[in-house]
Structure 1
Amino acid sequence: MTAQSACGMAQTGQLLQTLKGHKDSVCSVAWSSDGRYLASGSEDQTIIIWGIP
């Protein structure tokens, strides 16, 4: 992944939203169990918790 993360529909492959915030490559992502949050970890040593509407 690049320094931004992308959220999409797994069934269709449709891009829903691009999340910008990391300054280096994103190396991991994880969804919350309720699907309302996405956590992304980056090579820039940051973790961002994204609220997904």
Structure 2
Amino acid sequence: MPPIAVGLITYAVAGIVIHTMVSTSGIVWAGGGMAACLAAAFFHGMAQAAYDQRHR
């Protein structure tokens, strides 16, 4: 799965969850979605690097 897809899916889901459960403020759900997106991209990169290392 491309890294941009992981980020966009995570951003959308986190934004929806934050909007419905925590706050209706656009700044709050956008910021929370961005933080989740960055974390997902980081962990996806770590997993991809580990996979590449094992399958050389």
For the aligned pair, the TM-score class normalised by the smaller chain equals under 0.3
Flag the structure with larger Rg.
2
Per the normalisation by structure 2, the TM-score is 0.23
Between Structure 1 and Structure 2, the one with more strand by share is 1
